[in-house]
Chains A and B, each alone.
Chain A
Amino acid sequence: MENSVTIKKRYFPRKKVCRFCADPSLVLDYKNYELLKNFINEKGMILHRRQTGNCAYHQRKLTTAIKQARIMALLPFTADLEIE
């Protein structure tokens, strides 16, 4: 066909905003483990800053909070084994 011109689909990456900068009412703390669950994957690994879109300051606070919660068994180190 003559008219068929393959048009490349353009991908516009949307700029992610740090959730903690946008909403200061969120408390970043190891006791607030329900919030921290959003920032680990199903294996229990901490998500990268590229995936979460956090700023450097809040990502640093987040990792320490997750690690403290892991010590107190509020979050898993590895989520492969499930407790019945």
Chain B
Amino acid sequence: MFEFPKAKRFRKWESLFIIHPEKVDEKEVIFEKLKQLIQNKEGDLLKLEEWGLKKLAYPIQKKKQGYYVLAEFYGRADLPQELENFFRIDERIMRFIIIKLEDRFNPSEIQSL
């Protein structure tokens, strides 16, 4: 039978999350876990930007400060689901948001640049 060749399609997202201010020392553990989850879905971490401790506009979990981190990555389409599970369960992360940047992303574009 004829079978469609399975095309590998990637998407690109960005994610901003707030780390608990008393657990900033464990941020390296979170970053490694994040990278591992992304690489499981054949993706890669493109950018990791730390905004640092910032004042929150309103208290979250009775805390007035938070450690903001911005990450940019690509991967297969079911990656955000996995990330959401991780962010929800992990107690070190207070808030997160995942936003799609590109629907069709070509990872070979970065290598050529």
| Residues of chain A at the chain B interface (Cβ within 8 Å) | 30-31, 68, 70-77, 81, 83
Contacts and interface: CB of A to CB of B under 8 A. Distances in A.
Interface residues of B, number: 15
Contacts of B57: 70, 73-77
B95 to A, nearest CB: 6
Interface of B: 16, 18, 55-60, 64, 66, 68, 70, 95, 97, 99
A68 to B, nearest CB: 6
B103 to A, nearest CB: 17
A68 B16 CA distance: 11
Contact of B97 (A68, A75, A76, A83): A68
A72 B70 contact: no
B89 to A, nearest CB: 19
A76 B68 CA distance: 16
Given A73-B56, A73-B60, A31 B16 contact: yes
B16 A76 contact: no
A72 B95 contact: yes
5 contacts: A30-B97, A73-B56, A73-B58, A74-B57, A76-B57
